[in-house]
A = this chain, B = another copy of it.
Amino acid sequence: MHRGSSTVTDTPSLHRNQGVTAPEGFRAAGIAAGIKASGKPDLALVFNEGPDLSAAGVFTRNKVRAAPVQWSEQVLKSGRLRTVILNSGGANACTGPGGFQDTHQTAEAVAAALSDWGTETGAIEVAVCSTGLIGDRLPMDKVLAGVTEIVHEMAGGLSGGDEAARAIMTTDTVPKQVALHHPGKWTVGAMAKGAGMMAPSLATMLVVITTDAVADAEALQLALKNAAGKTFDRLDIDGSCSTNDTVLLLSSGASEIRPSQSELDEAVLAVCDDLCAQLQADAEGVTKRIAITVKGAATEDDALVGARALARDSLVKTALFGSDPNWGRVLAAIGIAPIELVADRISVSFNGSAVCIDGAGAPGARDVDLSGKDIDVIVDLQIGEHEATIRTTDLSHAYVEENSAYSS
Contact = CB atoms under 8 A, between A and B. Distances in A.
A326 interface: yes
A2 interface: no
B63 A343 contact: yes
B135 A361 contact: yes
A407 B332 CA distance: 15
A-side interface size class: 35 or more
B404 A324 contact: yes
Interface string A147-178: 00000000000000000000000000000000
Given A134-B332, A356-B94, A313 B240 contact: yes
A134 B64 contact: no
A241 interface: yes
B96 A407 contact: no
A302 interface: no
Interface in A387-408: 395-397, 399-401, 403-408
Interface in A338-367: 341, 343-344, 346, 356, 358-361, 365-366
Interface stretch (A43-51, A251-259, A315-323): A315-323
B96 A133 contact: no
Contact of A99 (B202, B325, B333, B360): B360
A341 B94 CA distance: 14
B313 A239 contact: yes
Given A95-B361, A400-B397, A400-B400, A134 B329 contact: yes
Contact of A96 (B136, B360, B396, B406): B360
A386 interface: no
B135 A404 contact: no
A175 to B, nearest CB: 23
Interface string A95-107: 1101100000000
A307 to B, nearest CB: 16
A294 interface: no
Contact of A407 (B324, B397, B404, B407): B324
Contacts of A346: 64
Contacts of A365: 135
Contacts of A334: 64
A135 B65 contact: no
Given A63-B335, A336-B199, A404-B324, A359 B319 contact: no
Contacts of A312: 239
Contacts of A229: none
A312 B309 CA distance: 12
A11 to B, nearest CB: 40
B96 A331 contact: no
Interface in A192-208: 199-200, 202
Interface in A203-262: 238-243
A332 B240 contact: yes
Q: With a 10 A CB-CB cut-off, give which of A134, A135, A241 has the most chain B CB atoms.
A: A135
Contact of A400 (B134, B321, B335): B321
8 contacts: A64-B331, A64-B343, A94-B328, A96-B360, A238-B315, A240-B314, A321-B400, A322-B403
